[in-house]
Amino acid sequence: MDGLEKQLHKNRLFLSRDRLFSRPAVLIGLHLFFLAAILLADELDYPAKVSLFAFLSAMVLWVATKIPAGFVAVSLIAFVILMNAAEPELLYESLSEEVVWLMIGSFIIGQAVKESGLAERLTFILLRKSKEKGQALAGVSAVLFATVFFIPSTSGRAALAMPIINQLSQKYTEKEQQVLVLLAPVVILMSTSATLIGAGSHLIGIGLLESTAQQSISFIQWFVWGLPFAALATLLSFLVVKWLFWPKHGEKRLESEQVVGSSLVKKQLKPIEKKTLILLSALIVFWMTESLHGYDIAFVAMVGAILIMAPNFGVITWKQGMKSVSWNLIVFVAAAAALGKILVDTGVVEWLEGGMVNFLQSFTDAPEWQIVFVILFVSVTSHLYITSHTTRAIVFIPAFLLFSEAIGVNPSAVVFLSLIGMNYCVTFPVSSKALLLFYEDEGVSYDAGSLVKLSAVLMPLYIALMMLFYFTYWQWTGLQL
């Protein structure tokens, strides 16, 4: 018996060692494959080849290893600079990106919502009419969906939702908490299609449509097309998440929390809560009226953060505000944005556009359903190889516009379909900053494998839902190739 146990122990050691050595071997093999393929691309010059290799390397390391995403991004930017493919300013200027300052401001605002007690009050308001945990989950999803009409940034919505989600998670078991923190960013992302201001990529796409085809999609028209789809896509996601991950057994009721919640909700707002609510309302108003005053949402968020931390006036102190910011995530976002920017600067994006146009032109004489499916398949899967939502729009929208011109179809319809398709980015934590915010949270987090499992079911359903909408509701309301 002892001999058998020793042999089994040896076998386990060998298996562990094999797994340990197999992953580096696969990673090295992939990098060698990328290197060989890029060297054969004669259309690219030296800086473009180095930039593309760094970008592909980052994608592999983000997905296949547990190396911190920020470390990977910064290291590869340093690699690009050391290889003389870019100037050091690439690294320095990455922190000047709008999204970086929007996220810093959003973290500070979210901390104020938590410290003021407003998050706890909002949580109990959500729970007050819920008799079961599942109902509370649906209520949270509905509130998160509604925020798309007021907060024009997925990362901003996620950062503001975090204190409420963290407060709410205390009422759930560990497994239920993981479902909650997975569902929250998924709902935020799925609701993005409801409005034109739901994502910056929408505005980029519409801008390219106006400058290239002299057409546009109005706020109202987008609302008519996007809201019903976003509502059904969010409901579908909610049902799939519950079906895949929600514990089948366990305590379902929330009666004890209702009593506590009712007593808290009946209490008058404390001065600090009123101050936070006023500042938050002012922020939302200024975000919604950007076209009137001219200040972008990131600057408005930072002004709000400054007021929130102001001595003798604010809600939290400067130290509290700085501690609330996830600086590793900020550095990652800045560096990842820089990796995407250099692809544009070195001509890699233009090269990809050319290849994509050649691929799309092979469907020139295809029936309408095939053309729609190709547009949806390319746009929905684009998040697998281009992590930045903005970069996806910059890369693919011009190619789709050229495609629409080549085959003589309505460019507005093509741009709308492709933008809605690009809004799907639920496969890896690095696919969206909203996913990363909850994935990198120091408290409750979700497992990256759960996200892949969810996407394996949800992605084909998302494409099928878009196909169904195109050939029914969207065509009935004037959206047609």
Q: Which range, 24-33, 87-96, 127-136, 383-392, is most confident?
A: 87-96
**Does residue 457 form part of some domain?**
no
The number of angstroms, rounded, from the C-alpha of 478 to the middle of its chain's C-alpha atoms is 29
CB atoms inside a 10 Å sphere around CB 389: 29
249: tokens are 């057994």
Q: How confident is the model at residue 444 (pLDDT cuts 50, 70, 90)?
A: low
**Does residue 302 form part of some domain?**
yes
Q: What is the pLDDT of residues 173-209, one digit of tens each?
A: 777 777 888 888 899 999 988 887 777 777 778 777 8
Q: How confident is the model at residue 440 (pLDDT cuts 50, 70, 90)?
A: low
Cross-strand partners of 253: 132
Q: What is the pLDDT of residues 398-418, one digit of tens each?
A: 778 877 877 777 888 888 999
Q: Which of 2-16, 18-32, 217-231 has the lowest mean pLDDT?
A: 2-16
Predicted TM-score (pTM) of the model is: 0.70
**Does residue 152 form part of some domain?**
yes
Say how many domains are in the chain: 1
**Does residue 100 form part of some domain?**
yes
Q: What is the pLDDT of residues 463-479, one digit of tens each?
A: 999 999 999 999 998 88
Name the CA dihedral angle for 248, 251, 252, 255, rounded to a multiple of 10 degrees. Answer: 180
In the chain, % of residues over pLDDT 70: 84
Domain that holds residue 102: 96-192+222-241+250-329
Which pLDDT score is estimated for 441?
Answer: 57
pLDDT(32) > 50? yes
Mean pLDDT of 317-322: 88
More confident residue, 253 or 98: 98
Cβ atoms of residues 397 and 421 within 8 Å: no
**Does residue 362 form part of some domain?**
no
**Does residue 107 form part of some domain?**
yes
Which pLDDT score is estimated for 463?
Answer: 94
Number of H helices, E strands in the chain: 24, 0
**Does residue 14 form part of some domain?**
no
Within 13 Å of residue 390, how many CA atoms lie on the same side as its CB?
Answer: 17
pLDDT(265) > 60? no
**Does residue 18 form part of some domain?**
no
